[in-house]
Amino acid sequence: MATARKSGAAKASAASNWRTETLARIRTLISEADPAITEDRKWKKPSNPAGVPTFERDGILLTGETYKDKVKLTFAHGAALADPAKLFNASLDAGTRRAIDIHEDDTLNEKAFKALIKAAVAFNTAKAKPKPAKRKV
């Protein structure tokens, strides 16, 4: 009986592993697109104590969340970004954000994804308010 439980746990672990690997690959692509992007964990709560991976540069660029059936990458200002490769496939009716849902057998167009990351950085950088110069007294 214990073997059946272990086998079930092993299956669950293997099933969740693709999501972990996908998110790790996304981190690499983000870093390759712009090494100045930082990752933080936001919105920690009892049901998600690790929080949501949040990628930022001059504000939030995107979040990466894992669900049972997908990895969801939500771009904070995705509606303002050109997406010629049509990577956005979720939250298409949202006013500001757009998302990419990646399922287990999906293949991400990595070149187009990096271009989208660069466009998100350019958007955030353009809207960032310049910091006022410190005045000497």
Q: What is the pLDDT of residues 57-92, one digit of tens each?
A: 999 999 999 999 999 999 999 999 999 999 999 999
Instruction: Tell me the C-alpha distance between 50 and 107, whole Å.
Output: 27
Name the residue type at position 72: K
pLDDT at residue 15, rounded to an integer: 52
Q: Tokens 């293997």 label which residue? A: 14
Name the percent of the chain lying above pLDDT 70.
82
47 falls in which pLDDT band (50, 70, 90)? confident
pLDDT tens-digit map of 9-29: 554 455 559 999 999 999 999
Q: Say if strands 60-66 and 98-102 run parallel, antiparallel, or are unpaired.
A: unpaired
**Tokens linked to 119:** 């466009």
Kindly provide the residue ranges of all beta strands, DSSP E only, lying in 38-96, ordered along the sequence.
38-42, 52-56, 60-66, 71-75
Residues 96 and 77: beta-carbon distance below 8 Å = yes
* Class (C level, CATH) for 2-126: alpha beta
Model's pTM, two decimal places? 0.82
The gap from C-alpha 122 to its chain's centroid, in whole angstroms, comes to: 17
- Maximum C-alpha span of the chain: 76
2 falls in which pLDDT band (50, 70, 90)? very low
